[in-house]
Amino acid sequence: MSTTSQKHRDFVAEPMGDKPVTALSGIGEVLGKKLEEQGFDKAFAVLGQYLLLRKDGELFTEWLKDTSGANSRNAASCSQCLREWCDSFL
Amino acid sequence: MTTMRIKSDQEIRELLDGYGIKHGPVVESTRHLYEKKLKEAMVKDKVTVTKPSPDRTFYREEREEVSYVNYRTPVRSEWPSGDGEPYMRSRPEYSDRDLVDEKLYSRSRPEYSSGRQYVDEPHVYNTQSSSSSYSKPTPVVKPGGGVVKAERKASSGRLIPLWIQFLVFLIVAGFLYFLFTSMESAESSPFNRIQ
């Protein structure tokens, strides 16, 4: 099993609905706040951005780093989380 | 830096396509990211343009071919008229092979400048068969045969600068010569002084 956290497994297990952005794997309080300031207050908003970037992991991690100041690890974690969610539900 | 901002979404899209950057729709939320990517791509482009190596080698080869052609024409006038015609007939064929040789010897021009003169003479003698004109130069450049192999490696990859290869070759040759002359064996060495 890959090194996915419980948070990750919880997120990809079900449709995200109205979950807050902090429910995403890799997004904690600090990053969540920064994203909310940018207007991304819900997980589906970040999902929207992921889809706009054509589900490209690299582009998305770059965007996330620029927007929220996330480091590579968190950004990659969030990207992988969204990708697996899309694989199951999109 | 701010020139990116004034471009329309469409223009940014076209620039991204021009650089071959995979992208999604250019909207407000994605625009900043794509502007950044375009800036990086432009910087990278400037860096690759200023790199002269691939273009310069082409130039050098072309210049060498042209200069070699110029070298040939005065030689032609020197030879008697009897040889003039067959010289002309096989000249284009030989020049084709010379172009091939040029590419091999393009780097070693200073070394082979003396060898070229030898190349011309056998060519005149072998006007009958142009095939042997290619084989003739090989015994002439035999002493440098090892260099040719090194040349091929250099021209294909050019990972190591040429002068370094020459230097290494000279060092190895000098070292071997030193070893050879310092041997006390009874082999008849051509380098021994005649007593």
CA distance A42 to A21: 5
CB B154 within 8 A of CB B160: yes
pLDDT band at B158 (very low <50, low <70, confident <90, very high): confident
CA distance B84 to B125: 12
Instruction: Tokens for A67, please give them.
Output: 């927007």
Nearest CB neighbour to B33, from listed A51, A54, A59? A59
Helix (H, G, I), strand (E, B) or coil at B161: coil
Residue A13, chain B, CB below 8 Å: the answer is no
Residue A68, chain B, CB below 8 Å: the answer is no
Let me know if A83 is exposed, middle or buried by CB neighbors in 10 A (0-12, 13-18, 19+): middle
Better-scored residue on pLDDT, B58 or A15: A15
Mutation to test the B interface, candidates A40, A51, A54, most B Cβ within 10 Å: A54
For the question of an ipTM over 0.90, the answer is: no
Better-scored residue on pLDDT, A32 or B99: A32
DSSP character for B106? G
Per-residue pLDDT reduced to its tens digit, A14-69: 999 999 999 999 999 999 999 999 999 999 999 999 999 999 999 999 999 999 99
Residue of A nearest to B21 (CA): A59
CB A68 within 8 A of CB A57: no
Instruction: Tokens for A44, please give them.
Output: 């589906």
CB B43 within 8 A of CB B19: no
| B-contacting residues in A 37-56 (Cβ below 8 Å) | 49, 51-54, 56
